[in-house]
Every structure is written in C-alpha cells, then in structure tokens.
Amino acid sequence: MYLFGTRQTFEGGLYLPDHKTRTAKRPIETLAPTGPLMVPLSALGELPTTPVVAPGDRVIEGQPLAMPAAPESLCVSAPTSGRIVRFDHVWTALDGLVPCAVLEPDGLGESAAVRRQWESDLFLTELVEKGVVCPNPRKAAHVLIAEAVAAGVTELIVNALETEPYLTADLRTMVEMPARLIEATCEIADAIGALRVRFAMPDRHRRLVRRMVSEAAGRLVEIVPLAEKYPQCHPTVLIKTLLEVEVPIGRSMLDVGVLVVPLAMIRAAAEALLDGRAVTHAVLTVSGDCLERPGTYRVPVGTPIQRLLDHVGPTAPIAQIVSGGPLTGVGVQRPDAVVTIDASALLCFSRPPEPQPIECIHCGWCVEDCPVGLEPVSLLQLEAMERISVEDRERLLACIDCGLCSYVCPSELPLAAAIRRTRRRAAGGPTKATGPNP
C-alpha cells in the first residue's frame, strides 16, 4: 500500500528538526584505547557478577573478566588486550557508582574471537557468554528472549527507527552491516518462534530501504518503512502503528504477544552469534552543537567520557552532556563517568536549557502532540495533590515518557519531569530516577 503514498502513522507526535546531517554520512569510527579502561563489572549496573581475574593478570580481547552470579546476569569481557591493574568504583550515567576493573591496554589488540558453530540449545548460553544486552527494556538479551518465549510471543519487531534528533548510530549500523543484521534478526526470530518479523526503519532513506529489502529477500523478515515522526520509535507507539494493538496500561508488550527489540541488540547479537566476538564496544553517536568531529563511534566499554570527548574535540566549553537522545536521555553529571555497553548517544551542548516557567496558556500543543492522548497539563496539577484517583493513576501510567509535552510547551513548564515524578509516586515506592522506563 506504500505505493499509493498512504503511510502508517499514529495520532499525535511531531516531526522534530533532526540535526543528523553532520553525523549521518560519517562511517563508524572505532576509538582505539589510549588509556586505562574502567570496565564496569556488571553489564547493566544491577546484575551481579563474580570477577574471574585478579589484579596483575594479563587478559586478551574478548576474555571474560567476570562471570554471571545470577541467572539474569551476563558475562563481562575485556574490550582489548592488556593488564588488570586494580578493582575500583566508577561513575556511569545510568547506574551511578558501579564496581569496575581497571584495564591498562598494552596496545597489542590480541583477540580471543573464535568462530564457533553454535547449536540452537546453546543459543542463550552464547548470548550470556558474549554479554549481549538490550538497552530498551534494559535487560540481558537472553532474559528478554526467555521471557518472550514464555509469553508465547508471535510477533517480532526490530526497531531501527531512531526518531530522536541527533541519533545516527542505528542508521550507520544499517548502512554498514545490513546483511548481518537481517541474519541476526532471523536467528532471534527462530529462537522465540515468531510467526511474523517486521523490521521498522525510517522511510526517508530510500536507498537504504531498498538495500534492506534486497537483503531480506527470501527471508522471514519484512522491511517496514515508517515516517520519522517522534516518538514512532517508542515500542507502545510502534506496536499501535504496525499491529493496531494497544498495550494495556501498566502491562508489558509481551502481554499482547509482541516483542520489540532495538537495533542495538540485534547488532550485538550479530557480533556475538555470527562473528563469535564478545560484545565489548558500544556504538554511540557523539554529537551536539559544540563538537569538531561529531560522528558515530565504536567505543570500548569503560572509556571515560572525558577521553572520548577529547578525541571528538569540543569547539566550545561544554555546558551539558546527555547520555542518550535529547528527549529521553539522562543528564551526565560527572565528566569522569565511563561509557557503558547500553549507551546509544552522547550529546554535548554549549548552552544548557534555562526554562523560565510561566502559567499554562492553554495552547493545547501538548494535548495535540501527546502520542498516547493524554492532557499533560491536567496531570501537572497532580504533583501537588495528596491523593491520586484511580483514573489519574491510570493516566499517569499511560504516559510513555517521550518528553514531547515539555519540548513544545511555550510556557516552559516541566511537564514531563513532573509527570515522571508523580508516576513514580503513584506506582508506589521509589524506582530508578533515570531514563525511560517502559
């Protein structure tokens, strides 16, 4: 039906100025380790691991540094060859202070990559050993796949939309390794037993769409080009657009039989399953308004953000660093934080936003743009309220935290932040203060 120009889309949302031109055409550049790496000893901050190396040990690239200490945890491998100096703590953007192993690279780059003919029952083991994570939802890949199998998921959607401004990591990945992405998608689809596999990607890149279609020819994967309207990339919105199914409030996408995986996980799975390499590098867009060589970088996990930024070259004093997209990312408070495995972008701005909130002027832009049909202004008043009614609680939980209401608000009201805080209170108990939490 695409022939006739009818595009699948959703009500609400906004076409954002994308700021992608500077980074979209630059190939992914691998950052060579030039100093000590502070490799976090658990992939997603809270997953416990047991170190299997000691200070003074020499390790080679891909060698495990820590083994999982719980079923939902993952191996952590060395990003390069070198010597373990000590164990320490290090700041990360998403998880705060986490334990790490300090690895002094020797510059030899000796690798332990072995291409093993894995079998289907070793599939999950392979994902654990190579340390494949899914950034959204933040889980280990094997846990996500096991949950999908248990929930009887029949639809798999690969999310390569990346509709937030500045982000080009997924785009570059598709340009540089289209065939392996399709292959890894098929492997994961086989593993969960999906009946239908869709690969959602931006329709604006026509040549890339054609390339992906030709790579997917004869495979189970169906390439679905979608408009780059924000937040089309959010799983709830994506499921509604593609399947016309609404994820019930407070439930997960697995409950409606759908699994949406981000392209970053597919890329990691391709590295782990097809190349036999441990996932030790994060592919992230380094961009913003004050960098000399913005681009997509393949960065060893544990690289201090400061060193990465020195390499990219700031042109002006950086006032604000964001890990993740500009609308859903997390502010980086400390320049000594390190790059973690689930980082998708690092954005630097020379001017921090200085909102001066005034009264709501009833313009209705937030209502018009909300992708789930909420009235963010009415939810703003809930923050001051002692008790929250059942209806309001449902509304709060329906919010997908896309940040558009704050983005468009002419009164500069902190709508998204207030809704996030109130939702945390309504959901009961303190939860993580960081990142989108679907």
| Residues 27 to 86 in contact with other proteins, rule: CB under 8 A | 41-42, 48-51, 66, 69
Identified binder of other proteins from the candidate list 361, 381, 385, 431, rule CB under 8 A: 361
- Around Cβ 410, how many Cβ atoms within 10 Å? 11
Binding positions for other proteins, 179-198, rule CB under 8 A: none
Q: How far is the CB of 351 from other proteins (least distance, A)?
A: 10
Alpha carbon of 346 to those of 230, 294, 376, 384: distances in Å? Answer: 19, 10, 28, 34
Given the DSSP bridges, would you call strands 295-300 and 29-30 parallel, antiparallel or unpaired?
Answer: parallel
Q: How far is the CB of 113 from other proteins (least distance, A)?
A: 25
Our CB check for other proteins shows the closer of 64 and 269 to be 64
Q: Is residue 340 close enough to count as binding other proteins by CB under 8 A?
A: no
Going by C-alpha positions, the residue among 134, 130, 124, 148 that lies closest to residue 61 is 130
Residue among 347, 379, 380, 382 that touches other proteins (CB under 8 A): 347
- Tell me which of 353, 385, 389, 431 binds other proteins, using CB under 8 A: 353
Q: Which of 414, 167, 126 is nearest to 273 (CA)?
A: 126
Pairing of strands 221-226, 96-105: unpaired
CA-CA distance, 323 to 430, in Å (whole number)? 22
Contact flags string 362-381 toward other proteins, x per CB under 8 A: xxx--xx-xxxxxx------
- Per CB under 8 A, 344 contacts other proteins: no
Residue 305 is a binding residue for other proteins (CB under 8 A):
no
Cα separation of 431 and 424, whole Å? Answer: 7
| Region of 117-125, 128-136, 180-188, 330-338 interacting with other proteins (CB under 8 A) | 330-338
Sketch the per residue contact string, 193 through 232, with other proteins: x for CB under 8 A, - otherwise.
----------------------------------------
| Contact pick of 330, 338, 339, 343 for other proteins (by CB under 8 A) | 330
Stretch touching other proteins by CB under 8 A, among 130-138, 171-179, 297-305, 348-356: 348-356
Q: Binders of other proteins among 89-128, rule CB under 8 A? A: 89, 91, 96-97, 99
Q: Are 344 and 160 in contact (CB under 8 A)?
A: no
Among 80, 173, 236, 344, binds other proteins (CB under 8 A): 236
| Binding status of residue 414 toward other proteins by CB under 8 A | yes
Q: Should residue 136 be labelled a site residue for other proteins when binding is judged by CB under 8 A?
A: no
How many other C-beta atoms can be found within 10 angstroms of the C-beta atom of residue 129? 21
Residue 406, interface with other proteins (CB under 8 A)? yes
Q: Is 43 helix (H, G, I), strand (E, B) or coil?
A: coil
- Binder of other proteins out of 109, 152, 193, 352 (CB under 8 A): 352
Using CB under 8 A, count the residues that bind other proteins: 76
23 binds other proteins (CB under 8 A): no
Angle CA(212)–CA(236)–CA(17) in degrees, nearest 5?
65
Q: Which is nearer to other proteins, 107 or 352 (CB)?
A: 352
Calculate Rg over the CA atoms of the chain: 21
The pair of structure tokens assigned to 234 is 């959010």
| Residue of the chain from 328, 340, 344, 422 that contacts other proteins (CB under 8 A) | 328
The reply on whether position 167 binds other proteins by CB under 8 A is no
Q: Which of 124, 294, 416, 423 binds other proteins (CB under 8 A)?
A: 416
Q: Which of 213, 227, 417, 427 binds other proteins (CB under 8 A)?
A: 417
- Spatial contact of 395 and 419, defined as CB atoms under 8 Å apart: no
Give 217 or 361: the residue with its C-beta nearer to other proteins: 361
- Nearest CA to 341 among 111, 73, 147? 73
Q: Would you list the DSSP string of 282-294?
A: EEEEEEESSBSS-
Binders of other proteins among residues 378 to 397 (CB under 8 A) are 394-395
Give pairs for 405-408: CB < 8 Å, separation 24+: 405/366, 405/369, 405/370, 405/376, 407/14, 407/16, 407/327, 408/14, 408/365, 408/366, 408/369
Task: Yes or no: say if 357 and 412 are a contact pair by the CB < 8 Å rule.
Answer: yes
Residue 335 touches other proteins, criterion: CB under 8 A:
no
Cα distances from 46 to residues 72, 97, 125, 131, 333, in angstroms, run: 10, 11, 20, 14, 20
* Type of residue numbered 108: L
> Shortest approach of other proteins to residue 365 CB, angstroms?
8
